A and B are shown apart, each in its own frame.
Chain A
């Protein structure tokens, strides 16, 4: 099967998740050409062709299925044998179900390239050319010690994301809605989910909180299948709300205090993780304060969603803090397939190259 055939099957099976045009762009940007795996392509006066890994071992995280889907799609594009270690039993079973459903939805020709395991298969792990892993830093550290020097290891450890609103006093309801989409998509569980909204020091907090809470409720109502709120989740949300009350922080709650979303204004600019599940913190900071405020998460900031134009000085500050992606609010959770996840170019990193130089 050629790359174009695999691309076609994938795009037909999941046209919204993996649009044909984006898959083509991904191959072109990362391998130089769609057919680089299937034959020679001209480059710099010579010829090159890419060689796909035989086995890719995907270690899936328990929080979100979408990262596993994307990783698998990349492996399928390359035509590799894809071994997937599903999330552990103590993780949320929903993710595992969604990963398995995705695999079932693949055409048989692609499905044949996929196998799943509940635990790491040591033999296959040792045979894999590439390990792609998602999860905690501890998981990454443990996996890294198990990989050989000649195995490629693409690690996606802990990361957080945040929103920056340049002029919150003039935030439109449309922009507030975009922020709400970012907060509520995937129940805030992924590393692209904003955990805080940073705003300049002189902001009308009451006005902003009102707009955001209205937008969040509007967005929450639109979600057809509401995320689960088991005891472990309501406990975290209740704790965050009670802490805010006790600390005297301004708090915006949904009607009837449902557990869909919570907005908390914490006057401390220092980043602290949210309990997730729709709990978003408003933090005020001047540009001068921002460096220290974000230092606890420096080099772990995946995406900064922006509302309004940012100064080049602010952009430089975020870059120095290791931010790996900027995007408009409302798009944080929907990066293009060409996105360099945690700075990686996955296809380019997974293949090896064969060169044919011009003959004398």
Chain B
């Protein structure tokens, strides 16, 4: 019998990472999920309460599919750190656009996140051809609470590329210098990879409107992530991809969507406007019906539930409000469910967050 992991110990974390990166069959997956659930059940009080509320305990768990999923919103309300009083090595914050209050993901160390997020991108095929990586985000040094910035930083370190790579600095984009750098890469024939939030690409398209398109060398790709949460305007995905494709002269299939979140350690990737998302072997997505808590049938819509075996330092199962369609080989992400809610004169959490605190006369 294997020793129970102790994720506070570096050796145990290394061993866990090795197990995740090794070939995983269903039995191994089940075993890892059970071990991680037991660890977190014992150490995250809110998770234990949720699990007990659903009548699930590690000792009566018969399948990883029964592992209760923590509502994403809980990261805004509770500390879900699985290491109690230990000092976290990194704290990543969510945007806080829904309630005005950011969620926080505490990691004891960034070791597992670094290994997993880099290997996940590598297995998705992003690093094939060793493209020159560029990011339309602040650097990890400038935005230490951004999990996205951290991941891009891991990619940069893994690629051993130097020079300016992060083109959002001190609250503004530096697109002129970025363009000069890209032109140099193009001239040298290096494949180029540009990653950023969807919104940063919208800015880029606007900034370079009227300029001649860049002809990125073969093997280049673009990666957008994050959608438009909390932004003043949105651009339909097809329109955004068409614009990106024109601007960089790359095919639709060279545009990736990364689907991840601060509360998780793993990411799913999809290619092209209508691509299906695929998770790495150590993470799985269930598309669930919230009424039953169970997976929907293939072709039906439900909510995305992540089970992420790399998410050792908080909770492995996360229930999102992201709408998706289950497919035979993955899932088709549709978007945030909140936008389909009927709205009217009744105040919602989003509205409450958006309004300034009123002055109340003294009683």
Binding site for B on A (CB under 8 A): 61-64, 67, 90-92, 95, 134-138, 156-160, 188-191, 193, 195, 229, 231-232, 234-239, 242-243, 245-248, 251, 259, 272-273, 276, 291, 295-300, 316-317, 320-321
Assess the A247–B77 pair: CB atoms within 8 A. yes
| A238 contacts B291, C-beta separation under 8 Å | yes
Q: Once the chains bind, are A273 and B352 in contact (CB under 8 Å)? A: yes
Determine whether the beta carbon of B345 is less than 8 Å from that of A159: yes
Q: Is B90 an interface residue (CB 8 A)?
A: no
10 A-B pairs within 8 Å (CB atoms) are namely A137-B354, A232-B340, A238-B293, A242-B69, A242-B70, A245-B49, A246-B70, A247-B77, A259-B291, A316-B363
10 further A-B pairs in the complex, CB-CB below 8 A; given A189-B342, A232-B340, A239-B319: A63-B345, A95-B342, A134-B344, A242-B50, A242-B53, A243-B73, A245-B50, A246-B78, A247-B74, A247-B78
Measured CA separation A283–B87 after assembly (Å): 34
Interface size class on chain B is: 35 or more
Quick check: B291 and A229 within 8 Å, CB to CB? yes
| Docked-complex contact B343 and A62, CB < 8 angstroms | yes
Residues of A within 8 A of B290 (CB): 231, 234-235, 237-239
Cα(A179)–Cα(B49), bound, Å: 30
* Distance of B252 from chain A, by nearest CB (Å): 27
Q: How far is the CA of A236 from the CA of B319 in the complex (A)?
A: 11
Contact A246 B351 (CB under 8 A): no
- Nearest chain A CB to B343 CB, angstrom units: 6
Chain A residues with CB under 8 Å of B74's CB are 242-243, 246-247
Does B337 sit within 8 A of A, measured CB to CB?
A: yes
Contact residues in A for B231 (Cβ distance below 8 Å): none
Q: Which of B319-355 contact A (CB under 8 A)?
A: 319, 321, 323, 337, 339-349, 351-352, 354-355
Bound together, the chains give a CA A231 to CA B290 distance in angstroms of 7
Q: Which residue of B lies closest to A186 (CB)?
A: B346
- CB contacts (< 8 Å) of A156 on chain B: these are 345
**Chain A: CB-nearest residue to B303:** A235
- From B74, which residue of chain A is reached at the shortest CB distance? A246
From B45, B339, B346, B358, name the one whose CB has the most chain A CB atoms within 10 angstroms.
B346
Contact A245 B342 (CB under 8 A): no
What is the CB-to-nearest-CB distance from A195 to chain B, in angstroms, rounded to a whole number? 8
- Contact: B319 with A67, CB < 8 Å? no
Residue among A91, A134, A159, A291 making CB contact with B342, cutoff 8 Å: A91
Docked-complex contact A320 and B360, CB < 8 angstroms? yes
Q: Assess the B339–A90 pair: CB atoms within 8 A.
A: yes
Q: Mark B46-88, 1 if CB is under 8 A from A, else 0.
A: 1101100110000000000000111101100110000000000
Report whether B349 and A272 are in contact in the complex, using a CB–CB cutoff of 8 Å. Answer: yes
Complex-state Cα separation, A190 to B360, whole angstroms: 24
Contacts A245-B50, A297-B352 hold; do A191 and B361 have CB atoms under 8 A apart? no
Within 8 Å by CB of A291, from B49, B69, B363, lies B363
Are B50 and A90 interface neighbours, CB within 8 A?
Answer: no
Instruction: Kindly name the residue among B45, B53, B54, B69 whose own CB sees the greatest number of chain A CB atoms within 10 A.
Output: B53
Q: Across the interface, do B357 and A296 meet the contact criterion of CB distance under 8 Å?
A: yes
From known contacts A61-B345, A320-B361, infer whether A245 and B291 are also in contact, taking CB-CB under 8 Å. Answer: no
Tell whether, in the assembled complex, residue A273 and residue B53 are in contact, meaning their CB atoms are under 8 Å apart. no
Closest chain A residue, CB of each to CB of B76: A243
Q: Is B302 an interface residue (CB 8 A)?
A: yes
Q: How far is the CA of A191 from the CA of B355 in the complex (A)?
A: 17
CB-defined contacts of B346 to chain A, threshold 8 Å: 63, 158-160, 188-191, 193, 195, 276
